Amino acid sequence: MDELSITRWPSLLPDVPETGALRKVAARLARNPLTNLSDEARKAAAALQVEPERAALLVTEQPNGVTLLSEVAVPGGSLYVIECQAWTRMLFPLYQPRIAALSLAVPPPKLLDDQNLDGPLAQARCEFESPKDLADLVRETVVNTLRVPKADYSDSIMQRGVSEPLLVIMVRVTFADDSPSRVLPVVVDGISRLSSAAKTRTGKTETGAADSVVADLLRDPNSLRRAIRDEITAYNAGYHRGLTDQVVRVGQAATVPVRLVVGARTGNTLEVNP
């Protein structure tokens, strides 16, 4: 830290929200006609919220017909997103175009449009052979992203945090070995920022940062919430004692701004081809 000029100092962090506040976000996502996520995806989208009250307001259908969702034009239709703060440790990478030329042990899966009985959803789906393959790909993605020239932003994040939002979609991951499926918040634009934030927060090497991301990936949601809550409690206590290197690392990288896709309309595709 002594060698870096901190241009935006971190502040105290809020506690991980209670489940009641998160349920409110999920419920309002379900009621808004412009959003179309599965029930599991709505819960996962709510869980990553740092400020659930703000997120709940953004996804509430307004009586005058004006929407607080941001509309993003894409070929054939629109995506609807909310701009919010997310817990960095609840976000994960899959496909990284910047390392597409590398020969990875686990090939990136094709992200396809997901749907249910009501029709297309504003989320994607993909399949792995096993949870181990998912973990191995995430580990390789983080390590190799950080090794791409000029893709390691950890010093910049240490100085001022993450300022540019990450684009996040919900992805339903299934496994050929019949392991339970799960829905993950996946970063599709901003993987370098996400990987660098992990390196900043942990203060570890590329491999160590990747291992920390995988450790969070393999936790069940309640365990991950507890781990983040413990980290925030320790951070806030340390913040009052003085800004050490580790306090600044956590403060600058514990949360990131995201543009979270919650709705899609007519002819949209979320396909990403490796």
The pLDDT score that the predictor gives to residue 193 is 97
Above 80 in pLDDT, residue 196? yes
The pLDDT score that the predictor gives to residue 127 is 96
Residue 119: CA count within 13 A, CB half-sphere? 8
Give the pLDDT band (50/70/90) at residue 273.
very low
Separation of alpha carbons 15 and 229, rounded Å: 6
* pLDDT tens, position by position, 159-177: 999 999 999 999 999 999 9
- What percentage of the chain carries pLDDT values higher than 70? 95
* pLDDT tens, position by position, 115-165: 988 888 999 999 999 999 999 999 999 999 999 999 999 999 999 999 999
* 14-35: average pLDDT: 95
* pLDDT tens, position by position, 59-107: 998 888 788 999 988 887 889 999 999 999 999 999 887 787 677 888 8
The pLDDT score that the predictor gives to residue 101 is 66
Give the pLDDT band (50/70/90) at residue 267.
low
Residues 6+ apart with CB under 8 A from 119: 36
The pLDDT score that the predictor gives to residue 134 is 97
Report how far apart, in Å, the C-alpha atoms of 207 and of each of 35, 103, 212, 241 are. 37, 17, 9, 30
Which residues are bridge partners to 82 per DSSP? 260
- What percentage of the chain carries pLDDT values higher than 90? 80
Q: How many CB atoms lie within 10 A of CB 144?
A: 18
The pLDDT score that the predictor gives to residue 270 is 56
Range in 36-40, 117-121, 144-148, 214-218 the model is least confident about: 117-121
Residues 6+ apart with CB under 8 A from 49: 17, 22, 25, 55, 84, 85, 86
How high is the mean pLDDT of the chain?
A: 92
